[in-house]
Structure 1
Amino acid sequence: MQLYGLKNCDTCRKALKSLPTAVLVDVRAEGVPAEILERAHAEFGSALLNTRSTTWRQLSAEERAKPELTLLSEHPTLMKRPLIDRDGELFLSWSKEVQAALA
């Protein structure tokens, strides 16, 4: 099980603590593989883009107008976290629904 997130993100830490078999992939250091990003975008659409993040607020209007996948590959920290890949099945966030599905 892969957990794509940030090592200093509180939500990612909570998820890792609850999922002892998960391996953290720090998106700031390692990025997100293009294949995973494309699958996640196809499944979650614009929900994958965190428009409340500091990174988003620092982008110019011109940069924000780029396609979502381009933005996410250029700025992986814009991705809503965590993105969890369990044997090809993707989960986004650490909501009660995701926690129940992964329990």
Structure 2
Amino acid sequence: MITLYGIKNCDTVQRARRRLDDEGIAYRFHDFKSEGLSRELAQRWIDALGVDGLVNRKGTTWRKLDAATREGLSATNAAALLAREPSLVKRPVIDRSGSLSAGFAKADEDAIVARLRG
């Protein structure tokens, strides 16, 4: 089963959902805003993808963080921050039976879709 995690109003998440729908790839959508993000799930993602692979340092939420939080971010404290501020997650996170990816760059779309087709 494929689970796509994100925020329904995020342009990248909307594009990913449209592409999966167009390709006929079934998935479950988990909206961070309405369903939240647990610290435990965030930690599993960090363990698999690393902090740099998971945290969106280009977004507004990142820029709004104080300097001490940004500079002190590490694998040991990132899960709590992501659970509190799920908008910091690079979106979407796609979980296909435990195989994870974060982001849906236009240049990578075809490869991501091919991987999801299995």
TM-score by length of 2: 0.76
Provide the C-alpha distance between the structure 2 equivalents of 1:63 and 1:70, rounded to a whole number of angstroms: 12
Quote the Cα distance in structure 2 between the aligned partners of 1:44 and 1:79: 11
Q: For the aligned residues, what is the CA RMSD?
A: 1.7
- Alpha-carbon distance, 1:22 to partner: 1.5
Amino acid at match of 1:11: T
Matched, 1:83 2:93: yes
Q: Specify every segment of 5 or more residues in structure 1 that has no aligned partner in the other structure, as ranges.
A: none
Q: Which has the larger radius of gyration?
A: 2
Q: Which has the higher contact order (CA 8 A, sep 6+)?
A: 2
Q: Show the counterpart of 2:20.
A: 19
Structure 1 residue 39: Cα displacement: 1.8
Distance in structure 2 (CA, Å) of the matches to 1:11 and 1:44: 19
- Structure 2 spans left out of the alignment, 5+ residues: none
1:29 maps to: 34
In 1, Cα distance between the equivalents of 2:89 and 2:14? 16
Superposition deviation, residue 62 in structure 1: 2.4
1:2 Cα offset (Å): 1.2
CA distance in 1, matches of 2:79, 2:43: 7
Say if 2:6 and 2:30, in contact at 8 Å, map to a contact too. Answer: yes
TM-score norm. by structure 1 comes to: 0.85
Offset at 1:27? 1.0
Deviation at 1:17, TM superposition (A): 1.9
Q: Is it true that 1:100 corresponds to 2:100 in the alignment?
A: no
**Cα offset, 1:37, TM superposition:** 1.6
Q: Deviations over 1:13-63 (max 9, x none)?
A: 121122242222111222223343222111111210001110010111123
2-structure distance, mates of 1:78, 1:27: 11
Q: What letter is aligned with 1:86? A: R
